[in-house]
Structures are given as C-alpha cells and as structure tokens.
Structure 1
Amino acid sequence: MSELTSLMTPACIIDMGKFQRNISCMQAVAKRDELVLRPHVKTLKSLAAAERYAPSNGPITVSTLAEAEYFAAAGYHDILYGVGLVPNKYARVQALSERAEKFTVVLDSLAAVNALVSFADSLEHPLQVMLEIDVDDHRAGLLPMSDELLECAKALQATPKLHFRGIMTHAGGSYDCFSQQARDAMAEQECALIAKASARLAANQIHCELVSAGSTPTALANTHHKGINELRAGVYATFDCVMAGLGVCDTDDIAMSVLTSVIGHQTDKNWVIVDAGWMALSRDQGTATHAKNCGYGLVCDPQGRLLEGWYVSSTNQEHGIISHIDGKKPDDAIFAYGNMLRILPIHACATAAQFSAYQVIDEDGKVTETWSRITGW
C-alpha cells in the first residue's frame, strides 16, 4: 500500500468501495428482472477491472476490435462487438471468431448484411451476427416494423456460415432524459419496441436467441425490463458527471477521479492552475446542456469530498484552470501551491482513455493496486 501523495500527477484514481457498490446495484437489477447482464467493458478496457464486474465465464460487450482481441486472449468467449461492422475489419473478425466461440458482430442495414453474406464463404468458422434495432431515433439501427429488418434477418438465416443470434438496441436518447419519469418512459419504450421487433421476426419463423437492450440510464430506471432477456450497460461501474447531471447517480457515487496538483495561480482572476489539462481530463463537455454545467470536471479535496462550486472551467493541453461558479477567491489552505486535488470526470470513458493505468484506492484512501488497460482500435 502507498499514499496518494506518493503518486505523480496527473493520475487516474478508482475508488474501490464506490466501484463495488455501483457494480452490485446493476447486478441486483439484472437478478430482479431475471436477465443476463452483459457488461460493456469499454470504459476501463482493463482485465483487472473486468474481473470485478464482467468475469470471463460471462458475456461482455466491447466497442473496439482491440478490446475484443485483448479479452479473447484472456479466455472470454462470448463477446459482442457493439459497433456496426465494415469490410475492412473482416480479416480481424474472422480471426476473432476462431478464438472466441461466440464472438458476435452487429449489422444495421441491408447493404451491410449483403456485404457480409458475400464474404461468408471465406469464413473458416460460422460467425455470430445480431441486428441492431432503432428504438429512439437517436443513432443507428433498423426500425422495428420495417421490411428491411425482415430482409436482413432472412438473408442472415439463409447463409450457412452465418448464425443469426438475435437483436440488440441501445437507447442513446436516454442521455437526454433529465427526470426519473423520462428515463422510466425511455426504458419502457426501449424494451417495448425491441420486443415488438422480436415478435415480428418470430411471426416469420425467425428465432431470436438474444433480445438485448440497455444503456446505464435505462438499465437503472424504475421499471421492470419486460420483453428482453439480456441487459447491457457500461459506465455504471464508475459513473461520471454526465450520469450525475441526468440524476442517474449522485456525485458521491462517482468512482473515478483524476488526481492533480496545484502548480500556480492567477490571483487577479481567482484562478487555480493545476497539472491536469485536456490531455488528462479529455475535451468532453457533456454537461454543457445540463442545468449544472460542470465544465471539464468537478473539484474535490484529496479525500474525494466535493468542493461545492469549484470546477475546471477551462483547459489547455497540460494545464487546467479551476474557478468557482460564483467567482469566489480560492481558500489558501485548500488551493495552496503543491496541494493535491481530485477531479470528477465529465465522461468517464473519455477521461479513462487518457491513461495507461489506474490507481485503485481503498476506503482509507490508500493505493492498493494498479490496473493496466489497453488502447487503440
């Protein structure tokens, strides 16, 4: 064990107590609704972290082929690559399907399906495929009642080297739901529409082994997730300021922070300058449209206690500027030169991507472990 003060800043911190509580909360939802939980590992991209919430004997979702290869090498066999597949990735996908029995790709158009069908004869092993359903007009996916959905599923089912596993969706529109009522309604819409798509396929003799839905806001909504058999979510393990701004969690639930040091001041502007700029915090300003704009991150003391009103108001590559929302003068006892602070991330996935490893702390604030991660696509 070591003290936080022994770390060189900036450093990415994971609070193990909060991390474990967040994980338990999502697991309880899946157990209550009798659903398989397929965690999305894209936030931390770390085997050491995944051991706590996404063990190798269960299914996972990834956002890059690099993640899929990393987890397949560690023995994971049920891996959903949740980004639409394009032909320049076929060779790596083929290799992955040979290493992970249930490596699964996602398609969302007849053009994408036809391209994969044409390639299928080159496959050594059957490739698992799912179709993405659009339930909120937010991003990708086939409409639940479209003829194109039926055409795609029939084409996949008729191709010997392709195995149609089912359908999935992601209600990204939930990131615009700022009330519990709105999140509950979105969760019910997400489940109802993908269930409708599943029923339509069944009526045409097309079986869906998996009916998979989820985003952190809809997974944690106050509703039972009817009509699906698999729940997906990812950022719940750490949470972030976006989730707190939506009301999905409290700021005290955020398990990730960036440890930073005070390197200077601009006293005439009431600025505190720290060594965590956008290279440490990322450029994400995902709370800019929220009632509370958290800038580039909320400021905490070294113990992780929120310093009310203080936030990272602007960043340069290696410099962060901390200000008070009301322009208050910094307290010399807290913001003195050399003092350490912790910054809560706006978007945990973006902040985590700035680091090659995480420093894990216990309830006493002692560093107990270092978790490595992978990067790239």
Structure 2
Amino acid sequence: MSNNTTIDLVKTPSLILDEERMSNNISGLLSRIEAQSVTFRPHMKTAKCVEVARRVMTSPRGPITVSTLKEAEQFADAGVRDILYAVGIAPNKLDAVLALRAKGVDLSILVDSIAQAEAVAAKARLEGDPIPVLIEIDADGYRGGVPADETETVLAVGRALHEGGAELRGILTYSGATYECREVDEIRAVAERERRAATRSAELLRNAGLPCPIVSVGSTPTALFSRDFTGVTEVRAGVFAFFDLVMAGLGVCSVDDIALSVLATVIGHQHDGRRILVDAGWMAMSRDLGTAGQRVSQGYGVVCDLDGEIIPDLIMSGASQEHGILSLRPDSRRALPDLPIGTLVRILPNHACATAAQHHRYNVVSKGSREVTAVWDRFSGW
C-alpha cells in the first residue's frame, strides 16, 4: 500500500522500516547462501509481513519457515505453497495443518518425541494424508529437540513416523547457543556443532533404511558465519532482514545495518535534568533486555534522531507501559542533548522480533529520506 506522507507526520509510537538497509541485509545473506549451493528457507517469524516475504523468498511459492499456524495461513493466502511450521507440533493443531494441506499447501511440521510422532502418524492414517515431518535434533541443550547423542530415540521417532503412515522428510536443528557467544569464532564453532549434529542424525536414519532427504540447519548467526555446509540441504534464518542490537552485540552486523526502529515523541523532562520522557514505553519497544548480558548494555534501545542518525550515548534506560525514559549511558561525560517537547526520535530495538510484534504495520522509508514510501501490514496471533 502506497502512502503520501513524511515520517514527521506519522503518529507515535510507530514502527519504521528502512527499506534500503533491509534490501542490503537480504542481498548479503542471499549471496552467501547461493554460493553454498543449498536451499534457503527464510524464517518469517520476525517480519510476519507478505511484502517482506516477497523480498526474501527465492520464489513466490516459497520455501519459507513460520513459527505459528496463523503465519502459515496468511502466507498460504498470499500464494506461498512450501511452508515449514518449525515449532514442535501439538496434536490439537493437526486439524489446522490438514486443512492447509487440503488447500494445496505443502506444509511440513516438526516433532521431537515418540508421543508426537505416534500422534501425527495416527492422524495421517485416519485422514489418508501422509503428513510430512522433520525430526528436531537438539545440538546444544538450548531448547527443544531430541538430544543428538540419543540415537535410539532418533531412530524410534523416525520409525514411528515412517512405518506409521506419515512422511519422514528429514532432520532439523537450531542452535540458540549463538546468543551466548562473544566472538565470531565462537559462532563458527557453534555452527559446526550444529552441522555435525544434523548430518550425523541424518546418516543414522539413512543407515537404518529410513528416508532423510532434508537436513535443515540455521539461525541468522550460523547462516552468516558457518564455514562448512557439507551434508546440509537447506539453511534457515529470520532476523537478518532487519537485524537488531543483540545481533550487533554479537558482531553479526553493525548498528548501521539495523533496518527497524520505533518512532517516538518527546513528551517531558524529569526534574533532575538527566532524563527525557517519550511516548514509547515497553508496549512499543517490548520488555526485551537482550543486550544486558553482552559487553555493552543498550537498555531498551539506542536513540537516533529523526533521520536515523545515532545520538551519541543516549539510550532508552527505562520503560513503563507507555513511557520511555531516555538518559545518557552511566559512563558518559556528554551533556544531555536538548530535545524539546514535541521532538521526534527513532529508537533501535534490542530484539526485532519482539519489538515488531507490538505493532500492526511498517512505515517504510529509505535511508536519508523522510518520505514514507509505503505502509506494509503485518499480522500477529496464533
């Protein structure tokens, strides 16, 4: 949807998306993935937006990854046909999965237990639809998945699917340990551990006579810094299109690469002369303090001027529901900038997924321009 306005006329708080930065981020990762001769399956959980998906997908029909069935439904309505729902399946969601598949969507799902596998296989037999399934492998103890060293469980899950009536489509891993890394070399080590866990599990299945056509790995950090994709068939990544302060703190991107910000208005000044109030609290920014454990804590976000240029040492240091508190970093020797009531600022988020989830649309701009060139709807819910 086009929009004839400028950023200074947008109501606050609102979500601003720098299309030029986003395009650069996308082309950078796509070029790297293409050079590795593997399939790219972008994760749309961050964007939740058809217009962004069209710029990230390698074809109008996909493939993509989603984190909710609502996403799957929305992207299916937009013509996407190859979708992976990459959250462990709950049996009560299988009817929704089958409904999408009945519409011609090649929707695959994820399991990491024998109980899930048996439930999916039973539903597949009952409905006469060999639901395609990937087994999630836990490479680092971060979240879900069958532990990579529990080979008998991996085989049991595989057999329950393959022999029970579902389609065993492959293996998937996700290494959340990258978020605890402090150096790029540490990310590379995590990426290699992820790859080995996936490929060894795939080999285990194949040696047992079970199919495993897909070996899926990835997150934004490992997709960008893995040195070896041997044995991998597809890579997933999501936040790379926008980036955020957590990614910058990991060394995955620079702060200048961050394409997402929240537009806010100065609404007051606290009497101690050291804090500025804006109309974007945690309802606009989220409560995510993901940089708190990194070398540099960014509070709730880094403050920029209306054109997206960083205001030195100014961060959102506190937040209540609808109030954001801006102040200088504790070690700063600068004077608090003069930001009169009514001044517009843009705040870079810690976690793009969480901040975007607070908003219903993107106001699209280009770097260095105040023109809003488009307004793109985003969706939420499950």
Q: TM-score, normalised by structure 2?
A: 0.95
Q: Deviations over 1:9-30 (max 9, x none)?
A: 1110110110000001110111
The question of 1:197 aligning with 2:210 is answered no
Q: What is the SS of the residue equivalent to 1:200?
A: helix
Report if aligned partners of 2:118, 2:164 keep a CA contact under 8 Å in 1: no
> 1:203 & 1:124 partners in 2: Cα distance?
28
> 2:273 & 2:78 partners in 1: Cα distance?
51
The question of 1:208 aligning with 2:215 is answered no
Q: How far is the alpha carbon of 1:224 from its aligned partner? A: 2.9
Report if aligned partners of 2:137, 2:171 keep a CA contact under 8 Å in 1: yes
Counterpart pick for 1:17 among 13, 17, 20 = 20
Task: Give the number of equivalent residue pairs.
Answer: 374
The question of 1:170 aligning with 2:185 is answered no
Q: How far is the alpha carbon of 1:269 from its aligned partner? A: 4.5
Equivalent position of 1:37 in the other structure:
40
> 1:148 & 1:246 partners in 2: Cα distance?
34
Counterpart pick for 1:184 among 185, 188, 205 = 188
Equivalent position of 1:360 in the other structure:
364
Equivalent position of 1:316 in the other structure:
320
Equivalent position of 2:221 in the other structure:
217
> 1:347 & 1:297 partners in 2: Cα distance?
9
Equivalent position of 2:337 in the other structure:
331
Report if aligned partners of 2:192, 2:226 keep a CA contact under 8 Å in 1: no
Q: How far is the alpha carbon of 1:267 from its aligned partner? A: 3.7
Distance 1:208 1:222, change over 3 A: closer
Q: How far is the alpha carbon of 1:124 from its aligned partner? A: 4.4
> 2:164 & 2:119 partners in 1: Cα distance?
12
Counterpart pick for 1:369 among 364, 374, 382 = 374
Equivalent position of 2:230 in the other structure:
226
Letter of the 1:331 partner, please give it.
P
Q: Deviations over 1:44-67 (max 9, x none)?
A: 101011111124322000000100
> 2:274 & 2:126 partners in 1: Cα distance?
64
The question of 1:275 aligning with 2:274 is answered no
Report if aligned partners of 1:300, 1:341 keep a CA contact under 8 Å in 2: yes
Q: How far is the alpha carbon of 1:137 from its aligned partner? A: 1.4
Structure 1: gaps (5+ residues): none
> 1:7 & 1:14 partners in 2: Cα distance?
13
Q: Deviations over 1:309-330 (max 9, x none)?
A: 1111111111100010136542
- What does residue range 228-267 of structure 1 map to in structure 2 within 5 Å? 228-267=232-271
The question of 1:8 aligning with 2:11 is answered yes
Letter of the 1:346 partner, please give it.
N
Letter of the 1:24 partner, please give it.
S
Report if aligned partners of 2:285, 2:355 keep a CA contact under 8 Å in 1: yes
Q: Deviations over 1:131-189 (max 9, x none)?
A: 101111111111234201001111111123x1111011111111111101101111111
Report if aligned partners of 1:301, 1:340 keep a CA contact under 8 Å in 2: yes
Equivalent position of 2:153 in the other structure:
148
> 2:226 & 2:98 partners in 1: Cα distance?
40
Letter of the 2:111 partner, please give it.
L
Report if aligned partners of 1:78, 1:100 keep a CA contact under 8 Å in 2: no
Structure 2: gaps (5+ residues): none
> 1:136 & 1:365 partners in 2: Cα distance?
44
- Identity, in percent, stands at 43
Counterpart pick for 1:104 among 105, 108, 111 = 108
Report if aligned partners of 2:122, 2:164 keep a CA contact under 8 Å in 1: no
Q: How far is the alpha carbon of 1:226 from its aligned partner? A: 2.0
Q: What is the SS of the residue equivalent to 2:341?
A: coil
Q: TM-score, normalised by structure 1?
A: 0.96
Report if aligned partners of 2:62, 2:83 keep a CA contact under 8 Å in 1: no
